[in-house]
Structure 1
Amino acid sequence: MEIVDLTITPEILDKLIWKHNVTESEVRQIFLDKPQYRFIEKGRYEGEHLYLALGAADSGRYLSVYF
């Protein structure tokens, strides 16, 4: 799987910071460093499935990112 663009809405960005203490930069680093992808479930609409990306940010933190 290749991710070519990443859009994070302001609402999700706020949640990442206040609830999970994760920065936008850390999330973007996961996708730039060839994460492991897992299919989670089929979405209601074609092409809108739920996936999990697993990887480490430059900070050394291991993150799980659902998208």
Structure 2
Amino acid sequence: MGKTRGLQQRIVGTTKQAVGEVIGDQDLHEDGKTQAQRGREEQDKPSELNPFKKLNKLT
């Protein structure tokens, strides 16, 4: 679920950035940039469904 949510946040954030740029709203642009970054971080987290996660701890 984390990767899907992260992708959603990246898409919404990037859209906000673009709209903010077009209409000249710097606050909206910065908000979108922050949201897109949070989405990237969410996508980079290891998945809870990763079967190799515990294997790495054992080796």
Asked if TM exceeds 0.5, the reply is no
- Between structure 1 and structure 2, the one with the greater Rg is 2
Structure of greater relative contact order (alpha carbons < 8 Å, 6+ residues apart): 2
The structure carrying a bigger helix percent of its residues is: 2
Higher strand share: 1
User: What is the TM-score when the length of structure 1 is the normalising length?
Assistant: 0.26
